[in-house]
Structure 1
């Protein structure tokens, strides 16, 4: 699930997953972090989920996926747009 907060010159996007699915560490990777694993790890938050917030330019399109332990790549099913094997996010 994605949460968006528009700001004056950027959009804060929070990537949110359940605390235990999939198990183990998960990071969001995409063109905004040069597909670097571990650059944006999801952390536990107070509502029982885990999340990470990334600041992205306004009015841009980004491709991303999640990377979990064991080299398990997966998409965000709440995002209806795809870019090949990746989820696509518009800010």
Structure 2
């Protein structure tokens, strides 16, 4: 798994590219407080090498909590900036942009 941040000079936006290694998965979504934890909004595209990849524009100078939904199972990002406990008794990945 990986996160790439690209800050735009012309806008207060950061293009965040999420990459998930899930060769046996059918569907992967990135879900977080930036999309009201939608389980259908930000679907990552499956690449020929089996990875899933997608880009989300996020407002700069903010912190976001998120997780991946891989075939219905929640997973954290190994390279997250940090982790934060949620109300469900597990941790969310934290992204600082």
TM-score (norm 2): 0.83
Question: What RMSD in Å do the two structures reach over aligned CA positions?
Answer: 1.5
Partner of 1:11: 14
CA contact (8 A) 2:4 2:18 kept: yes
- Which segments of 5 or more consecutive residues in structure 1 lack a partner in the other structure? none
CA distance in 2, matches of 1:54, 1:80: 17
Aligned residues: 88
Matches within 5 A, 1:9-88: 9-20=12-23, 23-45=25-47, 48=49, 49-69=51-71, 71-84=72-85, 85-88=91-94
Q: 1:36 to 1:17 in 2, by over 3 A?
A: same
How far off is 1:15 after superposition?
A: 0.6
Q: Which runs of 4 or more aligned residues in structure 1 lie more than 4 Å from their structure 2 counterparts after TM superposition?
A: none
TM-score (norm 1): 0.88
CA contact (8 A) 2:81 2:96 kept: no
How far off is 1:44 after superposition?
A: 2.5
